[in-house]
Structure 1
Amino acid sequence: MSGKPIVRRGVAPGPDAMHVQVAIVGAGACGLTAALRLAEAGIETVLIERDGTPSGSTALSSGFIPAAGTAVQRALGIDDDPRRFAADIQAKAHGTAAQHLVQAYTRAIAPAMDDLGRHGLVFEVLDGFLYPGHAAHRMHTLPERSGAALVAALTRAATEAGAYLLTSARVAEILVDARDRVVAAVCERPDGTTEVIACDVLILACNGFGGNPDMVRRYLPAMRQAVYGGHAGNDGSAVEWGLQLGARLADLGAYQGHGSWATPLGVLISWAVMMGGGVQINREGRRFHDETRGYSEAAVQVLAQPGSVAWDVFDEQARSLVSGFPDFALAESNHAVKTCAGPAELAAVIGCDVDALGRTLDGIGPGAVDTHGRVFERALQAPYYAVKVTGALFHTQGGLDIDAQCRVLNEAGLPFPNLLAAGGAARGVSGNDVSGYLSGNGLLSAVAGGYIAAATAAAQIGRALVPAAD
């Protein structure tokens, strides 16, 4: 069996194939959310995961999920609703995000989060700062504040509800009949053996294409030289299957970059240090953009600097916002976070002229407005902290075109009979450019998309779940 994802037409799964009502490719946040909802309703569901333990892009993320109108928010007195959330998404994407998905996801995410809460996932809301573009405190996190903890909790909930989890199984082929109805997924095991899983509905919750260099060069030329900080499983399988099926693709120019990838350590430095008053300074001792616009487009800005690097510079007030985050603790323990008593020490760490750096620091103060449009609320206070960073590609935000029910659409805009997609496999809500990514859009699409896809899958096999918008 070749390594390239394949669609085979007119091949029956055979009498010995395992059969389930719903098969889900990928056990990240999207697949696990869908599996939990389906299994809870008594629908036989199997998650097919290529890794030995579920991880994917979700495990590499911060694990922060944006949601508006949740029970957790209401308990904290946070005034928020899907309409405000949708407006924030479109404002960040300059009105180019797929409106049908923006509406569907912002309405579904609160019921999805409340449902996860019933299954033992105890969420908190980050309220120490606002992420760029969000008008309310709506970033939900587990107490561990990590994507790995989120995947572990979702895996436990889904399997306890009755979902089957098949690990170390890479879906290499999809079998379809003459009417473009999916009949089975063919899985390849590490020892080269194969298993055929027949299904009534197939949900692609597998991946984007950030780990496929050829696709990155073709669709995201600005990131062709960027560090890839995502999961190796993002190999573009969903896009490749879509091309072979004649599916429509959308928003392939959208992606989540990050301008704060510690180098050479290779760990994320939370953008909270920027929102808490920090700045990015290049090797010449200068700032070069408005850091509050967003961490995704900052990747492009950082890569354009000398040596494709910059330094995150912040103080104790900003550091206190992230000191409990696992990634930041890892950076500190590996000495990636440098402590500088004053401008001279900071200039020595950066390797820049101390006078140039001094002029940069002097421009940061209460009410100051820089040439990039950033308005500062306060000055940075010594001692300073500095982390050397570069721009990275995390995950893609384009893929298979889907409708509001997460049904994959063909080139004519019509849905395939029983093929669904969400999360990294499908188009997201970030428009078609890096600047359209609103913090948390990836996990929004994954969790809300998985929740909606479950309802659609259930309906296609004659079962009704509580509508996602309720």
Structure 2
Amino acid sequence: MSEKETYDVVVVGSGSAGVMAALRATDLGLSVLVVEKAHKFGGTSATSGGVMWIPNHQLEPNDDTREEVTTYLDNLIEVPIQKERLEAYLDKAPEMAYYLKNMGLPLAVAAWPDYFHALPGARADRSIVCDTFDGRQLGDKFPLMREQYSRFKVMRRYAIDLVEFFAISTQSPGWIKVFMKMVWRYWSDIGTRLISRRDRRYTQGGALMGHLFKQLFDRGVEVRLETKLDEVLTDGGEVTGVKVSRFGREYEIAARHGVVLAAGGFEWNQELRDRYLPVSGLTRHSSTPEDANRGEALIAGLKLGAATEHTDDAWWMPTMHLPMPAASNFEEIHQAAFDVGRPHSVCVNRNGVRFVDEACGYDEFGGAMIADHIKTGANNPCWLVFDANFRKKWTAGGFLPSIIMPDWTIPVDWWDHYLFKADTIPELAKKIDIPADALRQTVANMNEYARTGVDPEFDRGGNDYDRMFGDANMSPNPCLGPIDTGPFYAVPINAGDLGTKGGLKADAQARVVDEAGKPIPGLYAAGNNSGSPFGNRYPGAGGTIGPAMTFAYVAAEDIAARAGKGEAPTSTENAA
């Protein structure tokens, strides 16, 4: 490593946006270096569900249209956005997907309803997933990709894909066979067991990133780990490179044609959360990798006079804490994305009152927590209250169903700190400091709704998205079951997140702009490093990764065009 290195493009961050920018720029003839401050590559994307929301993708025959998705988004988005940036996303996302498919990635269409399925133009075929990846294809880099959280594994060990997740989490017919197959697949892989406890089968976000990094490493692109961005360098107002530090040593790397900031949001920076978010919450409530996305790239852009947008919002995700196994004074985060809307349960604020359709999309749920807290001051955390029937069948954050994790196996120091239990609803209310009469009335209301199948307050179970995560055996509404079988339980739920929604303001070409709307020459941003093209909304599964990869693709093409390095396809037909 020389004192003064030079590349055509320097990419900051190794998540889905970073690897896409590097891949596309390399394929267009540019030399690329990826710098990553963590000691593992893959970013937040590697720990995610790995879904991409790509409307009108046409990866398989369907009747989705540009007009239909525009209708959906026009009815969905509630704040001012850059229309031309959204149009660019709708134009380029299908092309990006074809680029991945032609590269050999095993993409598949998931039958996942858009998160606001009742709106005109909503569909259930816009989310794209990637099939599993054999991690050993990465060779000696196999252990260097960021690993999935234990919450994405069965019994903290077995990798699980989305099909297996839904089978096991809903205990659908045949789920035990699915589970046993996973166990056999893991333990029969003797070669990997001799190397690592890690499952060589990468799933969900790990699968997507595994396939992408295989492509990147096959092209000879370096991903330099433990290399932190300190400053974006300029000369005469034009970006010329970056200053980084690695194990305390600072040095500069020149970029002839551009720097792409793809280093995530600022959810692990408490100062920035307090500055921008309406209810800041705590960094430790975030479900992204601990202390990873601290906003260094956002701060570097601000020092150059960059504008920002949508920094008052996040990709919300209800979360809860549990102690780490064998180390009870250390905690880890568990997502409760779908748990909060299962039958035999209800979510209430600290006044004992409901505030949302609990079965809605997790981002909408988190937004409702924020809105209710602003209104009442009695949310974040809220409480998930459930009965023995729920406890037997469903997960509650890190608590597995009692058929797998009986109450007697739960450590004594968890009770009345992480999980609360009582024989009656009033006793439970006392334990969690909620007005007993209010909670009793709320539970009584839910029991009546379960009997009639109709929730007149929030219409829980009244749309396809809600019902996707309900109990098909529950009638008349798969999302409503009576809360009437003791003992009764409660866990606190925080307004966690999947990252922040806002960041540097970037235009339709992914160029970072200043307060006057003028592009800063040579500076680009993608993913949560930039503002979401959807403003304050989350249209469907993959609404983070889809735009992240699309605008990284756009950034690479714009850099290449300005460098005279060839032309990119302008339609999905040309990309195919």
Length-normalised TM-score, structure 1: 0.80
RMSD: 3.9
Q: Give 3-state SS (helix, strand or coil) of 1:428's partner.
A: coil
Cα separation, partners in 2 of 1:48 and 1:142, compared to 1, 3 Å: same
Q: Which residue of 2 aligns with 1:5?
A: none
CA distance in 2, matches of 1:164, 1:468: 29
Deviation of 1:117 (Å): 2.4
- Tell me, yes or no, if structure 1 residue 103 matches structure 2 residue 170: no
CA distance in 2, matches of 1:115, 1:364: 47
Aligned partners of 2:240 and 2:522 also within 8 Å: no
Q: Which residue of 2 aligns with 1:452?
A: 554
Q: Give 3-state SS (helix, strand or coil) of 1:266's partner.
A: strand
Cα separation, partners in 2 of 1:96 and 1:278, compared to 1, 3 Å: farther
Q: Which residue of 2 aligns with 1:199?
A: 256
Cα separation, partners in 2 of 1:314 and 1:415, compared to 1, 3 Å: farther
* Amino acid of the structure 1 residue aligned with 2:531: R
Cα separation, partners in 2 of 1:83 and 1:158, compared to 1, 3 Å: farther
Cα separation, partners in 2 of 1:313 and 1:45, compared to 1, 3 Å: farther
CA distance in 2, matches of 1:99, 1:314: 47
Q: Which residue of 2 aligns with 1:242?
A: 301
Q: Which residue of 1 aligns with 2:215?
A: 157
Deviation of 1:53 (Å): 1.5
Q: Give 3-state SS (helix, strand or coil) of 1:214's partner.
A: helix
Deviation of 1:244 (Å): 1.6
Q: Which residue of 2 aligns with 1:23?
A: 10
Aligned partners of 1:54 and 1:151 also within 8 Å: no
Q: Which residue of 1 aligns with 2:465?
A: none
Unaligned runs of 5+ in 1: 1-14, 337-342
Aligned partners of 2:340 and 2:384 also within 8 Å: no
**Pairing partner for 2:247 from 169, 174, 190:** 190
Cα separation, partners in 2 of 1:83 and 1:274, compared to 1, 3 Å: farther
Cα separation, partners in 2 of 1:148 and 1:389, compared to 1, 3 Å: farther
- Tell me, yes or no, if structure 1 residue 380 matches structure 2 residue 481: yes
* Amino acid of the structure 2 residue aligned with 1:418: G
Q: Which residue of 2 aligns with 1:441?
A: 543
CA distance in 2, matches of 1:315, 1:239: 46
Deviation of 1:159 (Å): 2.0
Cα separation, partners in 2 of 1:408 and 1:302, compared to 1, 3 Å: closer
Q: Give 3-state SS (helix, strand or coil) of 1:234's partner.
A: coil
CA distance in 1, matches of 2:270, 2:383: 24
Deviation of 1:195 (Å): 4.8
Greater alpha carbon shift after TM alignment, 126-135 vs 275-284: 275-284
Q: Give 3-state SS (helix, strand or coil) of 1:363's partner.
A: helix
Q: Which residue of 1 aligns with 2:446?
A: 360
Aligned partners of 1:278 and 1:315 also within 8 Å: no
- Tell me, yes or no, if structure 1 residue 296 matches structure 2 residue 296: no
CA distance in 1, matches of 2:398, 2:8: 39
Q: Give 3-state SS (helix, strand or coil) of 1:380's partner.
A: coil
Deviation of 1:455 (Å): 0.8
Aligned partners of 1:27 and 1:56 also within 8 Å: yes
Deviation of 1:239 (Å): 2.4
Greater alpha carbon shift after TM alignment, 208-217 vs 140-149: 140-149
| Identical columns (%) | 23
- Tell me, yes or no, if structure 1 residue 36 matches structure 2 residue 23: yes
Q: Give 3-state SS (helix, strand or coil) of 2:249's partner.
A: coil
Length-normalised TM-score, structure 2: 0.67
**Pairing partner for 1:217 from 267, 274, 283:** 274
Q: Which residue of 2 aligns with 1:310?
A: 383
CA distance in 2, matches of 1:239, 1:465: 30
Q: How does 1:253-264 map to 2 (within 5 A)?
A: 253-258=312-317, 260-264=318-322
- Provide Cα deviations, 1:435-465, integer angstroms capped at 9, x if missing partner: x233432212211111111111111111234
- Provide Cα deviations, 1:266-300, integer angstroms capped at 9, x if missing partner: 11133387389975345776532123553224225
* Amino acid of the structure 2 residue aligned with 1:262: M
CA distance in 2, matches of 1:289, 1:206: 33
Deviation of 1:219 (Å): 0.8
Deviation of 1:313 (Å): 5.5
- Provide Cα deviations, 1:144-182, integer angstroms capped at 9, x if missing partner: 34323332332222222332211111121221111x111
Q: How does 1:389-400 map to 2 (within 5 A)?
A: 389-400=493-504
- Tell me, yes or no, if structure 1 residue 141 matches structure 2 residue 155: no
Greater alpha carbon shift after TM alignment, 354-363 vs 199-208: 354-363
Q: Give 3-state SS (helix, strand or coil) of 1:430's partner.
A: coil
Q: Give 3-state SS (helix, strand or coil) of 1:153's partner.
A: helix
Deviation of 1:31 (Å): 0.9
* Amino acid of the structure 2 residue aligned with 1:122: P
Greater alpha carbon shift after TM alignment, 165-174 vs 62-71: 62-71
Deviation of 1:238 (Å): 2.6
Deviation of 1:404 (Å): 0.7
* Amino acid of the structure 2 residue aligned with 1:135: R
Greater alpha carbon shift after TM alignment, 29-38 vs 375-384: 375-384
Higher radius of gyration, 1 or 2: 2
Unaligned runs of 5+ in 2: 132-160, 163-203, 323-331, 415-421, 463-476
CA distance in 2, matches of 1:315, 1:106: 46
Q: Give 3-state SS (helix, strand or coil) of 2:547's partner.
A: helix
Deviation of 1:59 (Å): 2.6
Q: Give 3-state SS (helix, strand or coil) of 2:267's partner.
A: coil
Aligned partners of 1:131 and 1:275 also within 8 Å: no
Cα separation, partners in 2 of 1:437 and 1:16, compared to 1, 3 Å: same
The number of residue pairs the alignment matches comes to: 444
